Amino acid sequence: MFLPFYDQNPKRFVIKPYVNYGLILITTLAFTIQYILPQNAENYVIATFAMVPYWFADGRIDQIPFVPDEFTFITYAFLHGDWLHLLSNMLFLWVFGDNIEDALGHVRYLLFYLLCAAGGAGLHFLMFQGDLSPLVGASGAVAGVIGAYILLYPKVRVYVLARIIVPLPLPIPALWVLGAWIIMQFVYVILPQTDSVAWWAHIGGVLTGMALVFLLKRPEVKLFQG
C-alpha cells in the first residue's frame, strides 16, 4: 500500500494550476453538500447526477429533469461514495494534476479532465450495460491524469508513504509507482469482484488520458522526457 504526497517536478509554463485547484475545490464542495443533505435529498442527487448504465441500455430518455442523461458521463465525477473515496482521489489529483495542466495549458487541461471522466464512464457502461448501480467518483478522470503523467514524466521521483513496517517516505520513479497502479487495475478486473470499486472506469480513464495527451499537450512538451 502506498500514498503519493509529493513529486520532484517543477512546472515550466504555468505559475499557478488554477484549473486543478478549481477541480479539487468544486469536487470537495460537491461532496460536502452531498454529505450533509438528508438521505432522501442525497438519493435524488445521486439519481440525477450519477451515471447508471441501465438507463442507457434500456433506451430511457431523460426521465430525470434538469440534467440530460448524457451529461451524467461527466457529472458523476463530482460525486463520491464517502470521505475516503474523495480524499484519495483528490490526493492523487493534487500531486499529479498540476503538471498535466502545465503540459497542456489551462483550457485543454479542463477539457482533458472532463473527457477522461467520460472515457472512464464509457468503458464502465460497455462492461455493465444492465447494471442499476450508480457510478460515482473522480477515479476515472484521475486515472486519466495518471495515464498522461506516466507518458510525460516516467523518470520523475515521486515521494510515497509506503507501509513496510511503519510508514516511510520513499522517492520512487513515477514509472514504477504509477505503472504498478495501472497494472493492478487490470489485475483487479480479472479477480472475482468482492467490492463496488469501478475498476473498468479506472482503465477507461487511463486509456483515454494516454490517448488524449498526444493530442492536447503543448507542441514543445515531449513525451518520456521527465
Q: Catalytic residues, which ones?
A: 139, 202
Which of 160, 205, 7 minimizes the C-alpha distance to 95? 7
Residue type, 180: A
By C-alpha distance, which of 81, 84, 208 is closest to 145? 208
Q: Would you give the DSSP letter of residue 135? A: B
Nearest to 196 by CA among 85, 31, 73: 85
The CA distance from 19 to 98, in Å, is 8
User: Is the C-alpha dihedral spanning 41, 43, 46, 47 positive or negative?
Assistant: negative
